[in-house]
Amino acid sequence: MLFKTWERWTFCESTFGQLMSSLQAENYKVCTFKLLTELPVCFSIRDRLAQRDATHSTWKELLKVALIHLVEIQTGIRHDLNGKLSILCAFANKMEDERLFAILKSITGQELSNLSKTKLQAFIERLDSDQRNELANQLTLTVEVRPCNVQTKLMTEPTLLAGRYIKFSRHLYQTPWLVGNGVVFVGCIQDYLAKVLKERLRCDGVVFSAGGREDVDVRMLGNGRPFVVQCIGCRECNINQLDIEQMQSAINSSTNDINIVDLREVTKEEFVNLKSCETEKTKTYVALCRAAGPVETEQLSKLISLAPMNIEQKTPVRVLHRRTLATRSRRIERIHAWHGQDLCDFFILITTEAGTYIKEFVHGDFGRTLPNISDFLGIAVDLVELDVQSFFNIFFAFVCLLKAVVDMEILRSLCTVKV
């Protein structure tokens, strides 16, 4: 058992009892804890006025030593300055604080009750020696008992997970689609993860963030899109890689729409680096395009020769309601193109800078993306289906292309066409 039967303690009994009740109610599974304390402002002021040297301990330090000892003995949890569980004990003594403010007002003539603790301490540091001596003489301990009110709060450091998701559905959002105060579509990648993580880690919530976002009708294939998840308020903190792999399997078993790979726990530094990956990557896509008329093989060959190239993209009309109007320069690194079932259908395999709007590069978005494939071919072109294939490697993307074209039901046409 995590908690042993605890005896009645005369010192800090009410504080310790309240703390133990909270720990037992939440049933935290942790190995280490750190203790945070907040004392009434009058305690801190008395310590400063006493002008103790470095060898003396403050009220706060003494209280922490006592409480840490009690928690370690009764729970078996080890104290660590970087502990996963944070225990906050906040002490308040309104009567003593009011007495302090009244004394300060009588000395300085100023009303200071609205100042924060930090600003009040800074104000006292600016008092002259006579005022400090007067304050020290009046702010003595009284025989009258003025008990403190105590509040305890338990918090855990977020559990940080990272991985990649592969998305097979063309009807699945990455995160909930919110309009006003309601959710328009129920079910998304974030929800699939949150359901399992909340159950296994007994956490209050998850914060999901990915390296970019594909449209709802775009599949994410290949090596998957990197993502990170913050699990907030976890009660189950003692997890290992085997536990994480079991959670990954549970997520993948719950749906055929996505597949999670490489799920693992990461440090804060790794978490920050992973969150910035969107702006540091190139991405490879395969798209099925349909032209308003026949497109000759020579035209596709010339299209291939355009890359590498730079394009200018104004914020697309379809996202203008939620994105800032701006013109962005994007780099097209490589293009491969070949016909599909007939001369009106063709594929493009394209590697671009992260953040490129592929749909708009195909049809031009009413001239808002220049140059574009439609203008180059001299005919209206629309994008029928789009898959994200890779974040880094065109060869890897080309291998993944085989699966993509099978799903697009046009593998037969490729048998007679050279890439």
Active site residue 53: no
Residues 6+ away with beta carbon under 8 Å from 128: none
394-410 burial, b for 16+ CB within 10 Å, e for fewer?
beebbebbeebbeebeb
The rounded distance, in Å, linking the Cα atoms of 21 and 17 is 6
Long-range (24+ apart) CB contacts under 8 A made by 252-255 are 254/192, 254/195, 254/196, 255/192
Candidate list 47, 191, 215, 243, residue with the active-site label: 215
Structural contact between residues 146 and 96, judged by C-beta atoms closer than 8 angstroms = yes
Residue 70 tokens, joined: 């009690």
Structural contact between residues 146 and 40, judged by C-beta atoms closer than 8 angstroms = no
- The alpha helices in 276-393, defined as continuous H runs, are 297-305, 358-363, 373-377
The rounded distance, in Å, linking the Cα atoms of 264 and 244 is 6
Provide the pairing of β-strand 381-390 with 219-232.
Answer: parallel
The rounded distance, in Å, linking the Cα atoms of 83 and 30 is 9
- CA 370 to chain CA mean position, Å: 35
Which position has the token pair 């808002």? 368
Element (H, E) at 174: none
β-bridge partners, 346: 289, 339
Provide the pairing of β-strand 309-314 with 205-210.
Answer: unpaired
Tell me how crowded residue 19 is: count the other CB atoms within 10 A of its CB.
24
Residue 284 tokens, joined: 């490879």
Structural contact between residues 131 and 138, judged by C-beta atoms closer than 8 angstroms = no
Residue 86 tokens, joined: 């944070």
Question: Distance from first CA to last CA of the chain, Å, rounded?
Answer: 65
Phi, psi dihedral angles at 173 (to 5 degrees): -80, 160
* Residues classed as catalytic: 215
